[in-house]
Amino acid sequence: MSAILILLFLLTAASGTAVVLIRDPARQIFALAGNGVVLTILFTALQAPDVALSELAVGGAAVPLLFLVALMAVRTGRRDEEHEG
């Protein structure tokens, strides 16, 4: 196992743990996206470009965006009169 793989495994573990430990939903979404990007790099390093592309599109972009927008919509619903967010 080369050094870059060991580094990537450690990064995967660290970013995955970070998703669990971060409690603020808005930050958690970005941690989730970060985890997706780390997994994408790991899959690329393991020579699985198809899986990497799926992970990048779904784990790195689509799912975090979906969560982010849902969260944003819920929050703007809660503070009705404020023009911020």
Q: What is the largest CA-CA distance in the chain?
A: 57
- Interface with another protein, residue 7, by CB under 8 A: no
How far apart (Å, rounded) are the C-alpha atoms in residues 22 and 35? Answer: 13
Say how many residues touch another protein, by CB under 8 A: 26
Q: Which of 40, 38, 45 is nearest to 15 (CA)?
A: 38
Rounded to a whole number of angstroms, the minimum distance from the CB of residue 49 to another protein is: 4
Rule CB under 8 A: is residue 14 a binding residue for another protein? no
Contact set with another protein (CB under 8 A): 1, 49-50, 52-54, 57-58, 61-62, 65-66, 69-70, 72-74, 76-77, 79-85
